[in-house]
Amino acid sequence: MGITNKTVPIKNHMKDILLSALILVCLGGCVQVEKVPGSGGELIQIKQGNVGRFHELQIGVTNIIKTDYVNEAGAKKQGLIAVLSLFVDGNPPQEKDFKVHVGQKITMDKYSVYVEEIRGTVKGLVTLRIEELAKN
């Protein structure tokens, strides 16, 4: 009994291998990302469940979810939103929660916070640009 050597074009196998690898990567690790780059201010990333600090401002990322929302132009959209809890040291201290989407700018006390990126839903992160506004 002899050994039969059969050749198969590698091009077809490589295409199948690459497609399978891409599917596995997406099933195991695809993370939804929404991003609207901004400019100016200090860039800070905060993982969900953590708190970041900028001078007297503390920002906690309490939740990231995919949902329907209305943007500043009044258009209905579906995408990622993050729930941010802002706390400003002072007398009296200030605290407020915000539901934000990418491209949104919020202001609290003397701080402007621009939402540049929201990544993932479970254990995701938020990228913010923070500026200290001039006091009048």
The answer to whether position 110 is within a domain reads yes
pLDDT string in tens for the chain (136-residue length): 555 544 444 455 555 655 555 544 444 456 688 888 888 889 999 999 999 999 999 999 999 999 999 988 899 999 999 999 999 988 899 999 999 999 999 999 999 999 999 998 878 999 999 999 986 5
| Pairwise CA distance, residues 32 & 16, whole Å | 25
Q: Is residue 115 part of a domain?
A: yes
Q: Is residue 11 part of a domain?
A: no
Q: Is residue 28 part of a domain?
A: no
Q: Tell whether 92 is covered by a domain.
A: yes
Residue 6: predicted pLDDT? 46
Domain count, the chain: 1
Domain-located, residue 111: yes
In this prediction, residue 4 carries a pLDDT of 52
Q: Which long-range contacts (CB under 8 A, 24 or more apart) does 96-104 make?
A: 97/62, 99/69, 101/34, 101/69, 101/71, 101/77, 102/34, 102/35, 102/36, 103/36, 103/71, 104/71, 104/72
Answer yes or no: is 107 within a domain.
yes
The pLDDT of residue 27 is: 45
Range of the domain at 98: 33-132
The pTM score is 0.74
Backbone Cα Rg of the chain: 23
Residue 85 and residue 95 in contact, taking contact as beta carbons nearer than 8 Å = yes
In a domain, 23, yes or no: no
